Amino acid sequence: MNIYTINTGFFKLDGGAMFGVVPKSIWNKLNPSDENNMCTWAMRCLLIQDGNRLILVDNGIGNKQDDKFFSHYYLHGNDSLDSSLKNQGFHRDDITDVILTHLHFDHCGGSIERNRDKLVPAFKNATYWSNERHWKWATEPNDREKASFLKENILPIKESGQLKFIEHNGNDFPEGVQIRQAFGHTDAMMLPQVIYKGRTILFMADLLPSAAHIPLPYVMAYDMFPLTTLTEKRSFLTEAQQNNYVLFFEHDPEIECCDLIATEKGIKKGNAFRLQDL
C-alpha cells in the first residue's frame, strides 16, 4: 500500500465560525485572520493505492460554481486536484473509488463537473461511497445546514449510477482501510482509518479540521451537535494518544499530520510532520 497527500488549494472561512466559543483574542494567534475576519484553510485530500484500487478521500470544492459563489470563499494557491494527482503520477480517470467523508461543498464539490449543459461525474471510472444515513441527511437537509449541501454536488452522483453505500462492518475496502463514523459535525460523517508503515492514520475530516482544534472546547460553530462533537473529540483523542495514531488534517493550512502527547493539562499536539516523512 502507498498513500499520498493530494492538495486541492486553499479557501477562506470566517474565523469566529471556525472556532465557535473561543474568543478571537485567542484563536487569532493560531490562525490569523484578514481584515474581514477570514482565515485561510486547506482542502487536503488523501489518496490510497492498494493493488488495483486507487481510493481518493474527499475532493475539495471543485470548479463548477459561479463567480458569485466563489467570491465568498476566496480560493487561492497554486494547487489543484488534477495537478496534485499528476505530481504523484496519476490522473483522475485512474481513480477507482471516491470516499466522501460527508457532503458539504468543500469536501465533495470536485465530485461533479460541468460538461456543456450537463453535470457529470468528474471521476468516470470510480465508485462514489457515502452511507445511507448521511445521504438521507444531506438530501433532506435542515434549514441551518442546507446551504452546505448543494444539490448539484450530490444528486448527479446517484443519477450516474456510480453511488454505493458503505455497509456497516462490511468489506468494501482493502485490508487495513476502515471507516469510522462521527455524528457531531453532521450526521454520520465518515472518518477513514488506514494502517500504513506500522502506524494508524486517522483522517480527521471536520471532527478536527486543524491541529488548532485539538483542545476540547475548540468546536466549530458549524457543528450541528456541538456537545456530541465534544464527546467524540475526547474519545478519539484519548484513543489516538494511547495508541500513537497519526492524525491527518484536511483543513489545517500548515500542518499536514501530527501525533499526540498527554500532559497535565490534557492531550496536546506532539510532533508535526508531512505524510511523506513517515
Please give the pLDDT value at position 170: 61
CB 200 within 8 A of CB 246: yes
Q: Which has the closest alpha carbon to 56: 19, 82, 26, 21?
A: 82
Predicted confidence (pLDDT) per residue in 39-54, tens digit: 999 999 999 999 999 9
Helix (H, G, I), strand (E, B) or coil at 82: helix
Q: Which has the closest alpha carbon to 133: 173, 189, 171?
A: 189
Please give the pLDDT value at position 169: 59
Domains and CATH numbers, the chain: 2-277 (3.60.15.10)
Helix (H, G, I), strand (E, B) or coil at 70: helix
Predicted confidence (pLDDT) per residue in 113-146, tens digit: 999 889 999 999 999 999 999 999 999 999 999 9
Please give the pLDDT value at position 221: 98
What value, to the nearest 5°, has the Cα angle with vertex 201 and ends 198 and 206? 175
How many CA atoms lie less than 13 Å away from 92 in the CB half-sphere?
16
Handedness of CA 136, 137, 141, 145 (dihedral sign): negative
Distance CA 177, CA 6 (A): 18
Distance CA 42, CA 9 (A): 6
The CA distances from residue 132 to 41, 163, 190, in Å, are 29, 11, 12
Please give the pLDDT value at position 167: 81
Please give the pLDDT value at position 171: 77
Please give the pLDDT value at position 116: 87
Across the 278 residues of the chain, what is the mean pLDDT of every consecutive 10-residue run? 97 98 97 97 98 97 94 95 97 98 98 94 98 98 96 97 85 91 98 96 98 98 98 98 98 98 96 96
